[in-house]
Structure 1
Amino acid sequence: MQQIKHGGRRPRPSSAPTIIAAMLCVVALVAAGTAWWMLRPQQKDALEHLAQPQSSSSTLNRDKAPTPKSQEHQKAADDSPAAKASRAIATMSLDERAGQLIMAPMFAGGNPADLSALISTRHVGSVVLIGNWNNGTAAAKTAADALQSYAPSGNQLIVSTDQEGGQVQHLKGSGFDTMPSAVAQGQMSADTLRSSAKTWGGQLKQAGINVDLAPVLGTVQVKRSSNAPIGALNRDFGLDSNGNAQHGIAFVEGMRDAGVGATVKHYPGLGAVTGNTDFTTEGILDTTTTLDDEEIGAFNTTIKQAKPAMVMMSLATYQRIDSSAPAAFSSKIIDGTLRGSVGYDGVVISDSLSAAAVSGIATKDLGVRLVDAGGDLACIGDTSYVTPILDGIIARAQSDPAFAKKVTASATRVMTLKYQMGLAK
């Protein structure tokens, strides 16, 4: 420690610096007081502003960390089927995405193992049971379970069938009711039809079917016997546009009550043609239907109110809407009307792409044209068509980035439906 000199006393400091320092302190205090007096109203206003409740759009609240409640809301949004589908698609290869756009046929009496490679290796994501399955729910369930065993456990198959009633009922036998024709269903009240559809849907559910390719919503515009695809087979409800819509809604909701998705078909309607698109290229040009006709109105009402799992596109051509292509290949009808004007954002499925109506188009281009127009799921009624249609979609996507984006969008819609139905995890 340094020692103090001058006989142990500290030297007395000069008085001048002390006086100067004191004067400076006084000046500073006076200046501070003046500043406080001048600024006090503004500070008071600011404090009063901070004391007031802030709106949700204020900068203060925007910068705050989210509350636990808002975090829960964000988590719930992230767990929506659409969000889950987007995440799932992001992890898929192009081949896997394209596979989700294919619905392959499984014929009555066939061996499910015949589709194992298409499902497990080519990633086909949907199957339709076709033909006369007459052995009841147990036999159909055995086939459906075998098909599901080839698919990933976290991405199960959409398994569908045409269970309309009357002449179009593919699954019969023990456990299945004999369904009345759609015309007979049209004579039921809407409430009775919904209850009946719930029963029929429950039987499909027991058989491993999760989507019914029904109901038909066409409103017959010509003599019934001359309307080969619908009227002659009593596949419509036999009512006017409004009645068909109300019964269509009841059918869709009844199936949903049973845990089965429904498919309204064949958009925008086959009620004004004479030829059956499954078997002929003749008589399948609709020369009268417009976008504001009653027939399409039955579809649009049902779609908006009942929100079916799928909408199936017709393979007829509509001269007064888009004469350049069948409805399933028309971007004006799918993207412009169904998705645009009507606002449907669910799965759009084709009628069978192995049908005679589109036999003049190269097989490899069929799926490409569907997806390019805004469609999603290529329904195929001939197993030999599956690989070329799938390969065609992949090849086009590899060479065309814009088309590849459409494949991604379509696969996302299909996967969204799967998450909604509990088929994907």
Structure 2
Amino acid sequence: MQQIKHGGRRPRPSSAPTIIAAMLCVVALVAAGTAWWMLRPQQKDALEHLAQPQSSSSTLNRDKAPTPKSQEHQKAADDSPAAKASRAIATMSLDERAGQLIMAPMFAGGNPADLSALISTRHVGSVVLIGNWNNGTAAAKTAADALQSYAPSGNQLIVSTDQEGGQVQHLKGSGFDTMPSAVAQGQMSADTLRSSAKTWGGQLKQAGINIDLAPVLGTVQVKRSSNAPIGALNRDFGLDSNGNAQHGIAFIEGMRDAGVGATVKHYPGLGAVTGNTDFTTEGILDTTTTLDGEQIGAFNTTIKQAKPAMVMMSLATYQRIDSSAPAAFSSKIIDGTLRGSVGYDGVVISDSLSAAAVSGIATKDLGVRLVDAGGDLACIGDTSYVTPILDGIIARAQSDPAFAKKVTASATRVMTLKYQMGLAK
């Protein structure tokens, strides 16, 4: 700007207004400086941020403080079982996380104290009662309470059993009804089955059991007498895919009504094999089941509608889905189909890893292969397998960061279930 000269000097203004204006400027500058230095660092950062050009309204919205409503939503999310599980897992060592991935066996007539070190020192988080427990609810409750006493008070055990009915009912005696076979249950209406399952579940609850490893949802595809694991034992509902699904949903909801979680098994179905995976390596290649077939359809419908506590994986191999591995070790079946296409985000448990079907695999690798494929909980029917399977998981996690992340994810799913069931605090 061009200056205007007045004989080489500026006109001298009145001094009073100038002094007042100067004093006001000084006061304003002092106040601004004091306010600046009193700001917390994050407030200063925010002011500096606002001084920068903003490219879009979304940036401004992102920087706004949360409204009370969004804060309430955040608090509610933080109190969810999944959030609690994540916080709990964050405080656990690798050994503690790996222990949550093990379900150890407790045999009828055995001493619960035999599992005390596995639970208290090796952090095993689940137990299955197997064998012929014939002494009623009181005896089973005594055993379950003893087992729970070895676990941390804020992280109690999942205690399960196979209480299907018919030839597969491990807990009997006073306080337990004699359950009809699953085929007989299939002749009930869905409402009647739900009511009956609530009664059976209540008996399990009284015995200290919180998970039932039932129902079986295989849809028999071959002659029943030749289908050794399911049809020959009447372990299925004996219906078509839709009927099996509706009765599976009723059974799960009845158990849930009693406060007991249910487990659908054996995904994606054992209705098309002849061999029993518990006892043989022969006749356990399924050559017909497909991802869009009737047998897997019963499972998928039930899982989507009833959201069972667990899904148990079969130890058979499915030629038309993944011929490279048993279902329990197949990432295509677990991660790709069950978790991916079906959307199941709960606990995936194996069938017994001490079964004959997987006897050709090194014991230390059994749990590793399950977790690597997306599974969570290694069900074990032989106590001698527990330590090698647990050690195998830990060793692999120590040397493989990607696998260690899978261990963390699996342990989080198990702990989420525990929070949902009130077993963890």
Q: Is the 8 A contact 2:137 2:174 kept in 1?
A: yes
Q: 1:230 & 1:362 partners in 2: Cα distance?
A: 27
Greater shift in the superposed pair: 22-31 or 88-97: 22-31
Displacement of 1:71 in angstroms is: 1.8
Q: Is the 8 A contact 2:219 2:295 kept in 1?
A: yes
Q: Which residue of 2 aligns with 1:317?
A: 317
* Count of aligned positions: 425
SS at match of 2:39: helix
SS at match of 1:214: coil
Q: 2:420 & 2:42 partners in 1: Cα distance?
A: 57
SS at match of 1:265: strand
For residues 180-228 of structure 1, what are the alpha-carbon distances to aligned partners after superposition, in whole Å with 9 as ceiling and x for unaligned? 0000000000010001000100100010000000000000000000000
Q: 1:40 & 1:377 partners in 2: Cα distance?
A: 48
Q: 2:387 & 2:81 partners in 1: Cα distance?
A: 29
**Identical columns (%):** 99
Distance 1:224 1:79, change over 3 A: same
Distance 1:76 1:5, change over 3 A: closer
Q: 2:267 & 2:139 partners in 1: Cα distance?
A: 32
Q: Is the 8 A contact 1:372 1:403 kept in 2?
A: yes
Displacement of 1:141 in angstroms is: 0.5
Distance 1:139 1:51, change over 3 A: same
Q: 1:42 & 1:184 partners in 2: Cα distance?
A: 68
Distance 1:313 1:15, change over 3 A: closer
Displacement of 1:55 in angstroms is: 18
Displacement of 1:7 in angstroms is: 33
Q: Which residue of 2 aligns with 1:291?
A: 291
Displacement of 1:106 in angstroms is: 0.2
RMSD over aligned CA atoms reads 9.1
Distance 1:243 1:15, change over 3 A: closer
For residues 239-269 of structure 1, what are the alpha-carbon distances to aligned partners after superposition, in whole Å with 9 as ceiling and x for unaligned? 0000000000000111001100000000000
Greater shift in the superposed pair: 103-112 or 61-70: 61-70
Distance 1:14 1:83, change over 3 A: closer
Q: 1:393 & 1:31 partners in 2: Cα distance?
A: 63
Taking structure 1 as the reference length, what is the TM-score of the superposition?
A: 0.87
Displacement of 1:73 in angstroms is: 1.5
Distance 1:380 1:42, change over 3 A: closer
Distance 1:25 1:122, change over 3 A: closer
Q: Which residue of 2 aligns with 1:147?
A: 147
Displacement of 1:23 in angstroms is: 23
Q: Is the 8 A contact 1:160 1:209 kept in 2?
A: yes
Q: 1:287 & 1:3 partners in 2: Cα distance?
A: 97
Greater shift in the superposed pair: 72-81 or 59-68: 59-68
Distance 1:26 1:86, change over 3 A: closer
Q: 2:398 & 2:368 partners in 1: Cα distance?
A: 12
Q: Is the 8 A contact 1:56 1:62 kept in 2?
A: no
Distance 1:227 1:50, change over 3 A: same
Displacement of 1:72 in angstroms is: 1.8
For residues 352-394 of structure 1, what are the alpha-carbon distances to aligned partners after superposition, in whole Å with 9 as ceiling and x for unaligned? 0000000010000000000000000000000000000000000
Distance 1:156 1:18, change over 3 A: closer
SS at match of 1:381: coil
Displacement of 1:68 in angstroms is: 3.0
Q: 1:210 & 1:41 partners in 2: Cα distance?
A: 51
Distance 1:50 1:256, change over 3 A: same
Taking structure 2 as the reference length, what is the TM-score of the superposition?
A: 0.87
Greater shift in the superposed pair: 19-28 or 382-391: 19-28
Q: 2:194 & 2:178 partners in 1: Cα distance?
A: 16
Greater shift in the superposed pair: 415-424 or 64-73: 64-73
Displacement of 1:66 in angstroms is: 2.8
Displacement of 1:29 in angstroms is: 25
Q: Which residue of 2 aligns with 1:387?
A: 387
Q: Is the 8 A contact 2:36 2:44 kept in 1?
A: no
For residues 103-138 of structure 1, what are the alpha-carbon distances to aligned partners after superposition, in whole Å with 9 as ceiling and x for unaligned? 000000000000000000000000000000011111
Distance 1:27 1:365, change over 3 A: closer
Q: 2:44 & 2:161 partners in 1: Cα distance?
A: 74
Displacement of 1:67 in angstroms is: 3.3
For residues 251-307 of structure 1, what are the alpha-carbon distances to aligned partners after superposition, in whole Å with 9 as ceiling and x for unaligned? 011100110000000000000000000000010000111111100000000000000
Alignment of structure 1 residues 242-253 onto 2, 5 Å: 242-253=242-253
SS at match of 2:325: strand
Q: Which residue of 1 aligns with 2:127?
A: 127
Q: 1:234 & 1:278 partners in 2: Cα distance?
A: 16
Q: Is the 8 A contact 1:268 1:314 kept in 2?
A: yes
Q: Which has the larger radius of gyration?
A: 1
Q: Is the 8 A contact 1:54 1:61 kept in 2?
A: no
Greater shift in the superposed pair: 47-56 or 341-350: 47-56
Q: 1:293 & 1:118 partners in 2: Cα distance?
A: 41
Q: Is the 8 A contact 2:141 2:206 kept in 1?
A: yes
Q: Is the 8 A contact 1:397 1:403 kept in 2?
A: yes
For residues 22-41 of structure 1, what are the alpha-carbon distances to aligned partners after superposition, in whole Å with 9 as ceiling and x for unaligned? 99999999999999999999
Displacement of 1:44 in angstroms is: 31
Distance 1:54 1:141, change over 3 A: farther
Q: 1:219 & 1:283 partners in 2: Cα distance?
A: 17
Distance 1:102 1:43, change over 3 A: closer
Q: 2:211 & 2:371 partners in 1: Cα distance?
A: 21
Distance 1:71 1:287, change over 3 A: same
Q: 2:355 & 2:14 partners in 1: Cα distance?
A: 113
Q: Is the 8 A contact 1:331 1:373 kept in 2?
A: yes
For residues 125-157 of structure 1, what are the alpha-carbon distances to aligned partners after superposition, in whole Å with 9 as ceiling and x for unaligned? 000000000111111000000000000000000
Displacement of 1:69 in angstroms is: 3.0
SS at match of 2:106: strand
Alignment of structure 1 residues 184-195 onto 2, 5 Å: 184-195=184-195
Distance 1:295 1:58, change over 3 A: same
